[in-house]
């Protein structure tokens, strides 16, 4: 399935700012069942954009706007293909818990096994785990499916009930939140059980015959857990879904702090107002000449481009 994605982010300032610096994590990943064929990033006011890849394979675009401005706009447009979901087994084979422990003991996924900025184990989380009987029982895949469904049933989806920097305690106390809260709570539970778990940011394409609980026009977040024989498997507790061909991944991390779509600072005395508009729609199969995977330029390539540009400018003088 092909998808067209348009993501517009706008920062309006109460007074002119003299400079803004920002990092953007919006380019869909190319790996496994997902491929990014087109990606375009436009910034207003115009800025020179650099890109690099972090150690988890996320693409980060970085720019600064050194001129005075009242508004900063970031627009990305992507074309992505996601394969149909592969059918999963009903249960895992005996010994799955022992395999998880053996993998955890290697330290390969250490950053996804321990606490992080938004993933904690406060007493309200442990109390909820006791309430829902979330403990090592049955096989891990069946238990994860049960946790996914339980969080969907126990928590109400309530936009604006929490902030991007809210600790999970707030959602646990009120039993409501948004996709980011549900993902952090589920990750906290899985790490408490010794299951490596990570945070995924991206998009969910709407489905007309089954409205999702999460809002259209916004980015989305869900969970991936490592299971023997299945590698990283996605769970969406916001919508009681297994990650499927409608889930489009842009970045992975320990929690939201690693993968915000935008993160930046500005110089000036002003307040800022953020507005976001996301549109994800099925796209027709593109022509063959459009099916060229987007690749990231390495620093050496960027230096070569700079040299060529400088040479061309000298020739024009």
- Residue 299: which pLDDT band, with cuts at 50, 70 and 90? very low
**Single pTM value for the model:** 0.90
| Average pLDDT of every residue of the chain | 91
pLDDT in tens, 199-237: 999 999 998 777 899 888 889 999 999 999 999 999 999
Residue 293: per-residue pLDDT:
79
Any residues with CB less than 8 A from the CB of 127 and at least 6 apart, and which?
Answer: none
Residue 80, pLDDT score = 97
pLDDT at 316 over 90: no
Residue 104 has pLDDT above 60, yes or no: yes
| CATH code for the structural domain at 2-82+260-316 | 2.60.40.2250
Q: Do 96-244 and 2-82+260-316 have the same topology in CATH?
A: no
* DSSP class per residue in 115-138: --SS----HHHHHHHHHTT-SS-S
More confident residue, 154 or 294: 154
Is the model's pLDDT at 305 over the cut of 60? no
pLDDT confidence of residue 217: 84
CA–centroid distance for 238 within its chain: 14
Q: What is the pLDDT of residues 49-95, one digit of tens each?
A: 999 999 999 999 999 999 999 999 999 999 999 999 989 999 999 99
Asked if pLDDT for residue 286 goes beyond 90, the answer is no
In terms of C-beta density within 10 A (0-12 exposed, 13-18 middle, 19 or more buried), how is residue 17 classed?
buried
Ranges of each domain in the chain: 2-82+260-316, 96-244
Sign of the CA dihedral running 211, 215, 219, 224: negative
CATH class name, domain 96-244 = alpha beta
Sequence-distant (6+) residues with CB within 8 A of 70 are 12, 13, 15, 16, 17
| Mean pLDDT of all residues in 89-114 | 96
The answer to whether residue 317 scores a pLDDT higher than 50 is no
């Amino acid at each position: 399935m092909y998808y067209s994605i348009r993501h517009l982010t706008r920062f309006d300032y109460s007074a002119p700012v003299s400079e803004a610096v920002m990092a953007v994590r919006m380019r869909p990943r190319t790996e496994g069942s997902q491929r990014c064929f087109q990606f375009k990033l436009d910034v207003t006011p115009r800025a020179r954009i650099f890109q690099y890849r972090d150690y988890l394979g996320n693409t980060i675009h970085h720019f600064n706007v050194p001129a005075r401005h009242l508004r900063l706009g970031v627009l990305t447009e992507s074309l992505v293909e996601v394969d149909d979901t592969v059918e999963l087994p009903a249960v895992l084979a005996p010994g799955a818990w022992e395999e998880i422990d053996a993998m955890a003991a290697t330290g390969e996924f250490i950053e996804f096994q321990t606490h992080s900025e938004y993933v904690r184990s406060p007493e309200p989380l442990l109390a909820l785990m006791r309430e829902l009987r979330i403990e090592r029982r049955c096989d891990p895949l069946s238990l994860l499916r049960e946790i996914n469904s339980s969080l969907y049933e126990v928590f109400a989806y309530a936009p604006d009930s929490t902030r991007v920097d809210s600790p999970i305690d707030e959602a646990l106390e009120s039993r409501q939140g948004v996709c980011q809260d549900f993902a952090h709570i589920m990750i906290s539970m899985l790490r408490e059980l010794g299951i490596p778990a990570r945070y995924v940011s991206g998009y969910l394409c709407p489905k007309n015959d089954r409205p999702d609980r999460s809002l259209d026009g916004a980015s989305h977040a869900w969970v991936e857990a490592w299971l023997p024989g299945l590698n990283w498997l996605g769970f969406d507790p916001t919508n009681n879904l297994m990650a499927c061909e409608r889930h489009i991944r842009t970045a992975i991390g320990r929690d939201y702090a690693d993968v915000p779509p935008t993160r930046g600072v500005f110089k000036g005395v002003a307040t800022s107002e953020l507005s976001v508009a996301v549109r994800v729609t099925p796209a027709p199969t593109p022509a063959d000449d459009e099916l060229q995977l987007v690749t990231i330029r390495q620093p050496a390539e960027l230096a070569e481009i700079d040299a060529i540009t400088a040479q061309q400018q000298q020739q024009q003088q």
